[in-house]
Amino acid sequence: MKARKLLSVSMAAAAALLTMSATAMAEEEPVTIKVFSNNPDRTADQGLVEQTIFDAYMEEHPNVTIEVEALDDEAYKTKFKAYAAGSEMPDLVSVWGQPGFIDEVIDAGVLAELNPEDFADYGFLEGSLDGFSGDGKLYGLARNTDVIVVYYNAKMFEDNGWEVPATYEEFLTLADTINEAGFIPVAMDGGDKWPLYIYLYDLMNKKDGTDLMQKTLDAIASGDYSDLAFIEAADMLREAAERGVFQIGFETTDYGTAQNLFTNGQAAMYYMGSWDMSMATNMDIPDEIRENIRCFNLPVNGENADPLALTAWNGGGYSVTENSANKEAALDLLKYMFLPENWTRIAWENGVCMSAQDFSQFATGNETEVQKQLMDMVAEATAISGTSIGDLGTSEYKTVCEDTVQQLAIGSITTEEFWAGLSALAGK
Amino acid sequence: MQKAYSNKKIIFTLIAPGLLMFVFAILAPICLSVYYGFTDFSGLGAYQFIGFNNYKELFGDRNFWMSLRNSLLLAIGFICIQHPLAIITAALLDRMGKRAEGFFRTVYFLPNVISVAVIAYMWKFIYNPNFGLLNKMASALGFSGKTNWLGSGMAIWSVLIVLIWHGFGWGMLIYYTGIKNIDPVLYEAAAIDGADNKQTFLKITFPLMMPVIKINVTLAIISALKQMETVYLLTNGGPGNETQFLANYLYKQAFSSFRYGYGNSISVIFVIVCILATQVLNKIFPKEE
């Protein structure tokens, strides 16, 4: 009896050992997670943050290999579509929480549903995940809080006795003064077109920011763009371009060239998103410019204008794909990436961007001046615009919006023709 | 051997690889293109048949007609500017000494071996109104003001110059090879008869080059209609759609607007235009030279 008992105990112990070793073996099973990213530069900016997190994850999980394929936005979107049409979709992908991109991707069942409960403690800012949801289900996590601002060279301003404008009129007058001094007032990436419709949306937001995103969505659906703030904003964009606020040839200047005009001192200001706060920590930029980069919120005055309204949105993010061969592993990586001490902390501490999570907890007081200014702007904001006009419709709407806003800015079409062109897409 | 060639199975086996290649790489994609041209497919998810709606829209699409006009304009530029220059340069090269001939042949062909991306960005910088070479040179010569070379109204001409310049080397090299294949005895005979350079070119070189000219012009027209990479990188059809070309517009509709069905309807028209252009050329150039 004693011997049988001993045998049973021994067998149970052996079974337990076997189970444990099997579990350990299973844990050690090599896994390759394929990541498709829109951050091709892995040594700077958001690409660096991504890579730092991936490297740390692989160190903590020796059985995991993360293979990254990265392309620029436009090439990325094209290949994303090709992947989605095929059967070998990468496991973790960059996405944009904007209807023009994400709606049809969700409809096609490409993205895996996420459990919001898993991220309840992650400190995502209110509303930041709305764009990544469809029919009440969550399909992705937002990476950034993007704010559009006017960067300026504080030393150039000081040397020339220029003041940061408080009104739109002052802004235009300042541009005239800068032109007379032989500099470019605002470096504008008009070749990529989307900064132009963001400028337009910025003006629309500042003119009358009440519920702008819903107003714009309604206008896209109905084709009725007769709102006075819309019409005035389009006139203001055209006037700014005509008056020489942007460099000559802004309509064919690409992102890098526009940024270079500012960072090599040819332009006094640069209109771009908060993700370019990393200029202040970019050692490739000459000291006298890098250390003097500041920013302000484009001022717009008027009867209903709100000077503290911000044109901001949660654009880029990540999703796990529905047909991923390593769905659980990819989900685990996504959870790891967005632990506040990972994406938010690394991005903030390196001055790369403001995440869509509560980044204020990582403020050290050692931030760059631009970071501090952006933090203040977000803290003081009375209204946030949400996704910009070109990203609120379909892909076709976005393309037409891009082309026509560029034509509007260079004076090829009138304000009426611009809105009529968008109006013709109603219901499409 | 004779028996083997009359065996149908052997004949079929021999032509099968080529036939399969033609069916899967050319015929099937064209058929699929025609098929998708009748749908509203976005590239993802379900789609519906919409009959001739894409074609109806296409014929009223200003940007499509502008793209086609620009492509044809480029074809005319190739035929009227690039090729006459190429054939004259090839004839001149042929008359040069060995060293100079080799040197200039390499120089003229050089743009063709440089990547399209490099070419496009180089010209983008040359044309840049704020720091570009052209405006700097104009300024050094005493001209004031900044010309916006890629701006509205000027962009199409600036793009055409780049494309004509970029393709010049190929055309020149084919003509040069054609000239080299002309029997030198004819030139010797012409020289004995007292023909000058002009007469030699017009009476010997030019007529004997007709087959090469035909091929080169056909290639030029197809290349003009297919033009995509340089334009995409230089202006991406902008400002607005002023420098839009047929192939770039097709790409934009299919992969930026994600109107895959509409893009396919453009590609069908594209194929038809190419076939028509080839037919017109066959009429212009006699079959028997």
Whether B148 is in a domain gets the answer yes
- Which residue, among A151, A418, A425, has the nearest Cα to A276 in the 3D structure? A151
For residue A148, give the H/E element and its range. Answer: strand A146-153
Cα–Cα separations (whole angstroms), residue A73 to A104, A147, B242, B256:
18, 18, 24, 11
Nearest CA in chain B to A396: B257
Nearest CA in chain A to B254: A78
Q: Would you state the pLDDT for residue A9?
A: 54
CATH classification (class only), A146-312+372-423: alpha beta
Q: How close B4 comes to chain A (CA, Å)? A: 44
The phi, psi pair for B35, rounded to 5°, reads: -60, -55
What is the number of H-type helices and E-type strands within chain A? Answer: 16, 14
Tell me the chain B residues in contact with residue A85 when contact means C-beta distances shorter than 8 Å: 43-44
Q: How close B270 comes to chain A (CA, Å)? A: 21
Whether B34 is in a domain gets the answer no
Q: Assign A22 a pLDDT band (cuts: 50, 70, 90).
A: very low
Cβ contacts of residue A320 below 8 Å, gap of 6+? A91, A92, A93, A111, A112, A114, A327, A330, A331, A334
DSSP secondary structure of B169-237: HHHHHHHHHHHHTS-HHHHHHHHHTT--HHHHIIIIIHHHTHHHHHHHHHHHHHHHHH--HHHHHHTTT
- Residue A36: is its pLDDT beyond 90? yes
Given strand A92-96, what is the order of strands in its sheet? Answer: A64-70, A31-37, A92-96, A316-320, A141-142
Q: Assign A13 a pLDDT band (cuts: 50, 70, 90).
A: low
Tell me the chain B residues in contact with residue A410 when contact means C-beta distances shorter than 8 Å: 151-152, 239-240
A55-59, A121-125, A195-199: least confident range: A121-125
CATH superfamily for domain A32-144+314-362: Periplasmic binding protein-like II (3.40.190.10)
Question: Is residue A316 helix, strand or coil?
Answer: strand
Write out the residues of chain A at the interface with chain B, using a CB-CB cutoff of 8 A.
74, 77-78, 81, 84-85, 104-105, 107-108, 110, 184, 191, 193, 247-249, 251-254, 257, 261, 266, 394-396, 398-400, 403-404, 406-407, 410-413
pLDDT tens digits for B101-116? 888 888 999 998 899 9
Contact across the interface for A248 and B129, Cβ inside 8 Å? yes
**Cβ(B231)–Cβ(B237) below 8 Å:** yes
Q: Which of B44, B150, B255 sits opposite A104 (nearest CB)?
A: B44
Whether B39 is in a domain gets the answer no
- Which residue, among A402, A398, A45, A408, has the nearest Cα to A192 in the 3D structure? A402
What is the average per-residue pLDDT within A180-198? Answer: 96
What is the distance between the alpha carbons of residues B285 and B221, in angstroms, rounded to a whole number? 14
What is the distance between the alpha carbons of residues B10 and B30, in angstroms, rounded to a whole number? 29
Write out the residues of chain B at the interface with chain A, using a CB-CB cutoff of 8 A.
42-45, 124, 127-131, 146, 148-152, 155, 235-236, 238-242, 252, 255-259
What is the distance between the alpha carbons of residues A330 and A111, in angstroms, rounded to a whole number? 12
Terminal C-alpha separation, chain B: 35
What is the distance between the alpha carbons of residues A42 and A67, in angstroms, rounded to a whole number? 12
- Residue A21: is its pLDDT beyond 50? no
Whether B10 is in a domain gets the answer no
For residue A54, give the H/E element and its range. Answer: helix A45-60
Q: Assign A199 a pLDDT band (cuts: 50, 70, 90).
A: very high
Tell me the chain B residues in contact with residue A413 when contact means C-beta distances shorter than 8 Å: 240
Please state the domain count of chain B: 1
What is the average per-residue pLDDT within A1-24? Answer: 51
- Which residue, among A283, A306, A280, has the nearest Cα to A294 in the 3D structure? A280
Q: Would you state the pLDDT for residue A217?
A: 92
Q: How close A226 comes to chain B (CA, Å)? A: 23
Cβ contacts of residue A302 below 8 Å, gap of 6+? A207, A232
Whether B278 is in a domain gets the answer yes
Longest dimension (CA), chain A: 105
Sequence letter at residue A294: R
Contact across the interface for A395 and B257, Cβ inside 8 Å? yes
Whether B35 is in a domain gets the answer no
Q: How close B148 comes to chain A (CA, Å)? A: 6
What is the average per-residue pLDDT within A19-29? Answer: 54
- A251 burial type by CB count under 10 A (0-12 exposed, 13-18 middle, 19+ buried): buried
Sign of CA dihedral A56, A60, A65, A66: negative
- B264 burial type by CB count under 10 A (0-12 exposed, 13-18 middle, 19+ buried): buried
Q: Which of A77, A108, A191 sits opposite B238 (nearest CB)?
A: A191
Q: Would you state the pLDDT for residue A12?
A: 54
Please check whether the two domains, A32-144+314-362 and A146-312+372-423, share a CATH topology.
yes
Q: What is the dihedral of CA B83, B89, B95, B96, to 10 degrees?
A: -150
pLDDT profile of chain B (289 residues), mean per 10: 76 91 92 95 87 94 94 92 92 83 88 92 93 92 88 93 92 91 90 89 88 88 90 90 93 89 94 88 72
What DSSP designation does A114 have? B
What is the distance between the alpha carbons of residues B273 and B265, in angstroms, rounded to a whole number? 12
Mutation target vs B (from A251, A254, A405; most B CBs, 10 A cutoff): A251
Q: Would you state the pLDDT for residue B61?
A: 94
Nearest CA in chain B to A261: B130
Whether B16 is in a domain gets the answer no
Tell me the chain B residues in contact with residue A74 when contact means C-beta distances shorter than 8 Å: 256
Q: Which of B239, B258, B259 sits opposite A407 (nearest CB)?
A: B239
> Which regions of A365-410 does DSSP assign to beta strands (E)?
383-384
Q: Would you state the pLDDT for residue A304?
A: 75
DSSP secondary structure of A275-312: GGGGGGG-TTS-HHHHTTEEEEPPP--STT--TTEE-E
Contact across the interface for B239 and A184, Cβ inside 8 Å? no
Q: Would you state the pLDDT for residue B2?
A: 65
Nearest CA in chain B to A108: B45
Please list the alpha-helical segments (H only) found in chain B: 2-5, 8-22, 28-36, 53-59, 62-77, 83-95, 98-113, 116-127, 133-140, 155-180, 184-192, 197-200, 206-208, 210-226, 229-234, 246-251, 260-284
How does the average pLDDT of chain A come out, rounded? 89
- Which residue, among B278, B218, B274, B273, has the nearest Cα to B58 in the 3D structure? B273
- Residue A424: is its pLDDT beyond 90? yes
Q: What is the span of the domain harbouring residue B82?
A: 61-284
Q: Would you state the pLDDT for residue A25?
A: 46
Q: Would you state the pLDDT for residue B7?
A: 83
Cα–Cα separations (whole angstroms), residue B23 to A287, B10, B19, B29:
61, 19, 6, 9
Q: Where residue B115 sits, what CATH number does that domain have?
A: 1.10.3720.10
Domain boundaries, chain A: 32-144+314-362, 146-312+372-423
pLDDT tens digits for A207-239? 877 888 999 999 999 999 998 889 999 999 999
- Residue A18: is its pLDDT beyond 70? no
Both tokens assigned to B276: 């028509």
Cβ contacts of residue B276 below 8 Å, gap of 6+? none
Q: Would you state the pLDDT for residue A1?
A: 45
Contact across the interface for A410 and B235, Cβ inside 8 Å? no
